[in-house]
A and B are shown apart, each in its own frame.
Chain A
Amino acid sequence: MIALSCHGIGKSYGHFQVLHDINLTIVEGECFALFGPNGAGKTTLLKILATLQRPSTGYYEMLGMHGLKDKDAIRADLIFLAHGTHLYDELNAKENLAFALALRGQRPTDRDMKRALDRVAIGAFVDMKIRHYSAGMKKRLALAKAMLAKPKILLLDEPFTALDTAGTDILREYVRERLSENGTVLLSTHDQDKTRPIVSRAGILRHGALQEVSVEALKSDDLF
């Protein structure tokens, strides 16, 4: 089944056109990687798909729902791990998880939260305020939130930044798990080496236009 289809999505700020007629179809169980140099419009495209921005032209459908009309329904099936981690500095790890999931209408048990925190290997810092976390730990906590939410669609914006090798492995393992459960993952990155083992398809975004490339092409280093 088609998880995501974009139809001519464009976005402009004033007379600066960030995205240009994006057409893209992803089926369930696929992991699509968006490559591109800085300023190519990767984050903008992800934000549009995460219902956080409205495209200037075109529309998209996600799991059969219209991206501009059924936003709330889409939001229930979607987790977006953005550049900002969506965590509150004054709350500790468990409180952050409980709050974020409560807003989605979910009530994780204490045991589930503990398990998710152990899985991202920050179980030892549960009672610490997020304020004192390092960037990588925050990223791991955000990942734990995604693990508990079990979304059908996972959008990842530069997921590997700030993560160490162990964190990268945890993330990749989680992505594989989502894919095996027929979830869909769309991620933006500029790190081919870390991405290659998990992607099924890839595309390059350049000056706001998307061009699909074969995964094999990722091995050559001169993409950009």
Chain B
Amino acid sequence: MTIHRVIRKVQRFQGWFGGGGALCLGVGLYLGLIGSPPDYYQGEVVRIMYIHVPLAHTSLVAYTVLAIGSLWYLWKRDPIVDNMCQAVAALSAVFTSLALGTGMIWGKPTWDTWWTWDARLTSFMVLLLILIGYLMLRTFVDDHEKEARYGAILAIIGFVDLPIIHFSVEWWRTLHQPQSISMRGVSISSGLLVPLVFMSVGMSLLFSYMLMIRTQLLYLDRLLHAKKGRILSQFHLSKSDL
């Protein structure tokens, strides 16, 4: 029950998360798109970094939150923790797809190809596949409790697997494409760093804000379904007495 109190307390500041996120993103976008100089090597193209990198960071943070929430659920079996996990997973899938998409758009002018089997891109694709599998899995279970439990199991396995996937892909790539292209081309100078920090913080706040709203929604949805069930069964009971 304490978790509910904590959530209620945090939720009181929900508006601050949304507002703060909007502010940070506004400032970050202004600095990133207008206020900062173009990159020496990449020119104007580098500006997509201010979107791409925060998205990628946030999706990794989101998956970590999902794994922690899943562990927590298996430990306490509290349905609201599962509502949070479900909310994180959907958001995480969105952020990961956007990170992948912006990465591809960035790759076209810099590497002259939409897709390369770069370690990070590949790991992100596998991450996206795991998340889609997670969301599919949840729709294929009839029982709420089972759905939550199985989702948690998959999320934890995936979390343990991700670093191993990343390493194996990286090793594999260095064997097959000896460093013709590398993400590490951009050296971060302070002029680039400030908008990047704004964007990262803003993106995390935006993510937290969306997470809170979505969790709340799923929680209320569950209450509603329970209530509907009670009313329906009362109705059937009263009818059978006649």
Contacts and interface: CB of A to CB of B under 8 A. Distances in A.
Given A13-B142, A15-B228, 17 more contacts: A12-B226, A12-B229, A14-B144, A14-B225, A14-B229, A15-B225, A15-B229, A15-B232, A20-B233, A53-B143, A54-B145, A56-B226, A206-B237, A207-B237, A208-B233, A208-B237, A209-B233
27 contacts: A12-B226, A13-B142, A14-B142, A14-B144, A15-B225, A15-B228, A15-B229, A15-B232, A16-B232, A17-B229, A17-B230, A17-B232, A17-B233, A20-B233, A20-B237, A53-B143, A54-B145, A56-B145, A56-B226, A206-B237, A207-B233, A207-B236, A207-B237, A207-B240, A208-B233, A209-B233, A209-B237
A208 B228 CA distance: 15
Contacts of A16: 229, 232
Interface in B135-178: 142-145
A192 to B, nearest CB: 19
A8 to B, nearest CB: 13
Task: Give the most central of A54, A206, A207, A208: most B CB within 10 Å.
Answer: A207
Contacts of B240: 206-207
Nearest to A20: B233
Interface of B: 142-145, 225-226, 228-230, 232-233, 236-237, 240
Nearest to B234: A20
Nearest to B77: A54
Lowest 8 A-B CB distances belong to which pairs? A17-B229, A17-B233, A15-B228, A15-B225, A15-B229, A207-B236, A12-B229, A207-B237
**By DSSP majority rule, is chain B's interface helix, strand, loop, or mixed?**
helix
Contacts, number: 35
Contacts of A209: 233, 237
Nearest to A19: B233
Contacts of A208: 233, 237
Contacts of B236: 207
Contacts of B143: 13, 53
Interface in A27-64: 53-54, 56
Contacts of A56: 145, 226
Contacts of B233: 17, 20, 207-209
A14 B230 CA distance: 11
Nearest to A207: B236
Contacts of B229: 12, 14-17
A53 B230 CA distance: 20
A57 B125 CA distance: 40
Contacts of B230: 17
B86 to A, nearest CB: 15
A38 to B, nearest CB: 14
Task: Give the most central of B144, B230, B233, B237: most A CB within 10 Å.
Answer: B233
B120 to A, nearest CB: 40
A194 to B, nearest CB: 25
A136 to B, nearest CB: 31
Interface string A1-21: 000000000001111110010
Contact of B226 (A15, A53, A206, A207): A15
Contacts of B142: 13-14
Nearest to B146: A54
Contacts of A207: 233, 236-237, 240
A94 B2 CA distance: 53
A69 B51 CA distance: 48
Contacts of A17: 229-230, 232-233
